[in-house]
A and B are shown apart, each in its own frame.
Chain A
């Protein structure tokens, strides 16, 4: 049975939501070490949880054979976090507008919208091995 593995500023988890809390503890711990304020920590933690959820459920289709890797880096006041899955990627432009009246009461479909609202930048890249989403946020 695979388990979360931590190496430096990277945590790798099997594709199961039961490991979301492991990722959160890892990320929040590092952010506190950087001296981030609690509001910034929450914004980043929410965004990471959204993207890891997506990577597990949509990217890796919850396959126990596939992993999700989360890496965090700091450059000056800028925090970058990359979430890498082994899936086929997605087109964010194909996601319905969560603010449209007809979508307001849908239970899902807000994740990427929330991440874009909370983070300074969101960059999506794909190659044959999977999809990487990098988010950045400046420490205030």
Chain B
């Protein structure tokens, strides 16, 4: 997995690419998320458009980020959830947890 990040209207946008399956790749996303939390940047969108698939480790990272941000009055939202990841969110009932938007722009605007 590769990971890039940017800021849009005061919102951190994380852009993982590839597969999130555990091991060193997955810790990249985890560490970057916590790097922004430590900088008090607590509005985060994860753009999943270029993630081929993720397993339960990837879902665990999303949950970890979601709960950590929520506990510090921040928020984590998802954008561009692919069909495969949407299917995983549905079967695990995590679709009821995460706020998801069709585009990054919509997700960023939702923070206002």
Q: A: which residues have CB within 8 A of B?
A: 16-18, 20-21, 24, 39, 42, 45-46, 49-50, 53, 98-99, 104-111, 113-114, 117
Contact = CB atoms under 8 A, between A and B. Distances in A.
Contact of B21 (A20, A99, A109, A113): A20
Interface residues of B, number: 27
A111 B56 CA distance: 6
A16 B64 CA distance: 23
Contacts of A113: 91-92
Nearest to B27: A17
A140 to B, nearest CB: 15
Contacts of A39: 84
Query: Which one of B23, B63, B66 has the highest number of Cβ atoms from chain A below 10 Å of its Cβ?
Result: B23
B22 A20 contact: yes
13 contacts: A17-B23, A18-B24, A20-B22, A45-B19, A46-B21, A49-B21, A49-B22, A50-B56, A53-B55, A104-B93, A111-B56, A114-B55, A114-B88
A31 B19 CA distance: 17
A24 B19 contact: yes
Query: Which one of A18, A39, A110 has the highest number of Cβ atoms from chain B below 10 Å of its Cβ?
Result: A110
Q: Is the interface of A mostly helix, strand, loop or mixed?
A: helix
Contacts of A46: 21, 53-55, 88
Contacts of B55: 46, 49-50, 53, 111, 114
A107 B59 CA distance: 7
The 10 closest A-B CB pairs, nearest first, are A17-B23, A107-B60, A110-B56, A49-B21, A111-B56, A42-B53, A117-B91, A49-B55, A53-B22, A46-B55
Contacts of A50: 55-56
Nearest to A19: B23
B52 interface: yes
Nearest to A98: B92
A24 B57 CA distance: 15
Given A53-B21, A107-B60, 7 more contacts: A45-B19, A45-B53, A49-B22, A110-B59, A110-B92, A114-B88, A114-B92
Contacts of A117: 91
Interface in B77-112: 84, 88, 91-94, 96-97
